[in-house]
């Protein structure tokens, strides 16, 4: 694989691209559990100087608040209480709370995420973030399950990140093991498979790749290699856009 290095300014949207869309550039990163989409999206945003939203953290925060009130995360009336708590206190700190990362909260997150009312209640927040991100940034990166399909179908560049189930389980196992010595690789694999199934088969916004998404298989790739591959894609799409739009472009010459 060719590793390419570019300067951050290579990717900031040109004034033409920015004017055409009249909004920050939107990049979506969807994919199944522990596919590496969060790591990729976070690094991509840092590299480009863009804002970043981990949409899974929203569902995780609702799940944690629901569990803390003693509620069943599959029940809308219970999840509504968790949702109300999160809506009243939706801060970056809440989404960075390490307590939302446990295996128990992961399972509960995919349960509250299957409730249509919960998805509906979180939809506008995600769209507003995408279209008017905090700070004067040139773009935004959002990662999740339905960002390229439901939240931002009009995104400029879409990725769908995958990896083999075994490698995904191993990555998540290595992340969780230090806080949970009793954890086994088999437990993590079972957890991911149950969540993937629930996320794929739910009636609203199931996980699938948008037809116009670039499929990025991260099996056997390091986070740095994954980032470089995505940056090469962004660069080529960006150059296609500007080539189409520039005064000397083939389109303009016609
Ligand atoms: O990091 P990981 O891939 O394990 O999960 P996550 O992205 O934090 O998402 C946790 C759960 O939230 C997922 O299993 C989905 O059920 C749900 N989710 C969703 O339904 N839609 C999103 N846009 C993001 C997450």
Decide: 161 and 36 in contact? Cβ < 8 Å: yes
For position 136, what pLDDT does the model report? Answer: 83
pTM, 2 dp: 0.86
Rounded mean pLDDT of 19-37? 85
Could you tell me which residues are beta bridge partners of residue 30? 144, 160
- The token pair at 17 is 């691209």
Cα-to-centroid distance, 56 and ligand 1 (Å): 4
- Nearest alpha carbon, ligand 1 atom 15: 110
Q: CA-to-CA distance for 198 and 201, rounded, in angstroms?
A: 5
Q: What is the mean pLDDT of residues 130-143?
A: 93
Q: Which two tokens stand for residue 79?
A: 């999840």
Mutate to test the pocket of ligand 1, among 31, 42, 59 (most ligand atoms within 8 A of CB): 59
The mean predicted confidence, pLDDT, of the chain is 87
Share of the chain above pLDDT 90, in %: 74
Reported as a single tens digit per residue, the pLDDT across 154-173 is 999 999 999 999 999 999 99
What six digits make up the tokens of 12? 């900031």
Residue 245 is predicted with a pLDDT of 44
């Amino acid at each position: 694989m060719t590793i390419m290095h570019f300067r951050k300014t290579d990717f900031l949207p040109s004034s033409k691209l920015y004017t055409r869309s009249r909004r920050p550039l939107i990049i979506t990163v969807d994919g199944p559990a522990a596919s590496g989409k969060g790591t990729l999206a976070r690094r991509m945003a840092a590299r480009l100087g863009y804002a970043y939203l981990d949409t899974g953290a929203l569902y995780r925060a609702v799940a944690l608040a629901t569990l803390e009130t003693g509620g069943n995360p599959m029940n809308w009336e219970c999840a509504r209480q968790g949702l109300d708590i999160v809506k009243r206190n939706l801060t970056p700190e809440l989404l960075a709370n390490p307590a939302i990362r446990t295996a128990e909260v992961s399972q509960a997150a995919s349960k509250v995420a299957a409730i249509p009312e919960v998805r509906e209640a979180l939809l506008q927040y995600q769209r507003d973030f995408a279209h008017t991100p905090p700070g004067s940034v040139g773009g935004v990166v959002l990662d999740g399950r339905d960002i390229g399909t439901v939240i931002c179908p009009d995104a400029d560049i879409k990725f769908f990140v995958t990896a083999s189930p075994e490698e995904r389980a191993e990555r998540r196992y290595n992340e969780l093991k230090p806080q949970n010595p009793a954890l086994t690789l088999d437990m993590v694999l079972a957890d991911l498979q149950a969540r993937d199934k629930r996320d794929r088969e739910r009636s609203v916004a199931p996980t699938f790749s948008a037809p116009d998404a670039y499929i990025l298989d991260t099996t056997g790739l390091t986070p740095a290699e994954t980032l470089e591959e995505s940056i090469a894609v962004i660069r080529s799409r960006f150059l296609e856009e500007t080539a189409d739009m520039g005064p000397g472009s083939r389109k303009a010459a016609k």
